[in-house]
Structure 1
Amino acid sequence: MTLFRPCIDLHEGKVKQIVGGTLNDQGAKTNFVSEKNSDYFADLYKSYNLTGGHVIGLGPGNETAAKLALATWRGKLQYGGGINPDNAKDYLDAGAEKVIVTSYIFDNKELSLEKLKNLHKIVGSEQLVLDLSCRKVESGWAIATNRWQTVTSTLVNQDTLEDLSQWCSEFLIHAADVEGLQQGIDSELVQFLGKHCPIPVTYAGGASSMKDLEMVDELSNGKVDLTIGSALDIFGGSGVKFKDCVEWNQQKQ
């Protein structure tokens, strides 16, 4: 059954919603900047027992805000953003249920099995989420690293999902080309993930209404969870009410 997964996206220490494909060293196109700190949203999710959400640090300057959120809903939120063998355990000790990793396991656009093994030795499969966020390419979708600016040679296909599933407990996949645009999900990608993903997976990107949550449930046969960001009213959006997402989960669980 498809569930709504909450998120806390951090940029320059503030809770923001951005257009994913615009993020670079100069900044990003921003949909929303919250006046509230990260712990407000973590406490909100805690009050409704929303688990499995992700806190994402987009670039530097987010460590304090991230750890504040993780401590507030301890053991129930995942953290991603610059995770490597040197800091992974630090974020787990700070309260992360799991750590989310992308860029570290790539070298020059190539997946490094050696790096993945090194990280796996430290955190193990159960506390590791692999972020396979991707961009559309001619042959399907390719994993994108470096804040979704670097398109790697690794395709999001059946072989990749099967090979990488042995190293982690779940996948997080942002469709970077539609992330933050609120113009609808990548239905083809969702359907593909529902058919071929051997472990739990959360999709993010483009959701603009409760119909998208229903669509993900239908397209994936309930096997893919959905994160909704910019469209949510708690993030300044008008397409989706947070309370409706809470009710959806309560009905599904």
Structure 2
Amino acid sequence: MVYCWKIVQAQRMSKGKHNVMKFRPCIDLHNGKVKQIVGETLGGEGQAVVENFVSSYDSTYYANMFKRDRLTGGHVIMLGEGNKEEAIKALAAYPGGLQIGGGIHAENASFYLEQGASHVIVTSYIFRDGQLNMDNLTQIVEAIGKEKLVIDLSCKEKDGKWYVATNQWKQLSDVELNQETIRFFEQYCDEFLIHAVDVEGKQSGIQQSLVSSLAAWVTIPTTYAGGARSFEDLALFRQLSQGKLDITVGSALDIFGGKLSYDEVVEQLSNSL
């Protein structure tokens, strides 16, 4: 997931209820540049990162674009070291309009909120050595409050089940993603961000079974990412999710080297599919 757009609810009338959907943007940073990459190639030993797109613009260009287009609640993802400066510049350009993830922990979460992030996003910090680390989860909730926390439960399929993938998606945890675990994590965060790792960045179509399952499980705002490539995919997603989930479109957009018109996506998805 490098650059992305999410269809999201404009307002929540109450916890777990969605209203009119709109876009939230996302900026992914790798080696200090805005990129679109195939996420599962990141950090692979002896494997080069597959880059779908490398922007000639910096993070503030996109943050200002999102601000201009009134696309609130997006996020910045720091993919490894060397991205902190660009991330902070994006937050400063659009204070309160972006979330931030990548290397976030209890000790630095407040810092990024002070720089202008609306929420922080965590994955590997709360999953250590393939297991849930409750001490770390408790510490970050105590540090910033659940209202400022997004938990990333990106997952891969194994034997017909979904397992949370951590450590730059190289390691499968022992945490199976199902209704029980979703209910558990909902106690500790404001939103979920969930990539279908097997299709993310590949423009191969959405992971339909995961979308349907998530729609049946979640009761808080949840964004799905992975594989969306066309308006047909977006319409299918909305049908399968029954409007209960949000979606990210990244590499498929023309502003990131794809074929989907960004302007058309903004216009059409600001209304309805």
TM-score normalised by the chain length of structure 2 = 0.89
2:121 alignment partner, one of 100, 118, 127: 100
Give the Å deviation of 1:76. 1.1
Aligned residue in 2 for 1:159: 180
CA distance in 1, matches of 2:174, 2:211: 21
User: 1:171 corresponds to which letter in structure 2?
Assistant: F
User: 2:247 corresponds to which letter in structure 1?
Assistant: L
Contact 1:5 1:225 in 2 (8 A): no
Structure 1 residues 195 and 2: alpha-carbon distance in aligned structure 2, compared to 1, 3 A threshold: farther
* 1:132 has 2:132 as partner: no
1:61 alignment partner, one of 67, 72, 82: 82
Secondary structure in structure 2 of the residue aligned to 1:97: coil
User: 1:246 corresponds to which letter in structure 2?
Assistant: V
Question: Does 212-221 or 129-138 show the bigger shift?
Answer: 212-221
1:169-201 deviation line (CA, Å, top 9, x unaligned): 000001111111001010111111111111110
After TM superposition, the structure 1 = structure 2 runs for residues 1-253 of structure 1, keeping only pairs within 5 Å, are: 2-24=21-43, 27-238=48-259, 240-252=260-272
CA distance in 2, matches of 1:64, 1:20: 22
| Percentage of pairs with the same residue | 51
Give the Å deviation of 1:227. 0.9
Give unmatched runs, 5+ long, in structure 1: none
Secondary structure in structure 1 of the residue aligned to 2:63: helix
Give the Å deviation of 1:4. 3.7
Superposition RMSD in Å: 1.3
CA distance in 2, matches of 1:248, 1:45: 16
Give the Å deviation of 1:6. 1.8
Number of residues paired by the alignment?
251
Secondary structure in structure 1 of the residue aligned to 2:232: helix
Give the Å deviation of 1:123. 1.1
CA distance in 2, matches of 1:190, 1:196: 10
Give the Å deviation of 1:73. 1.2
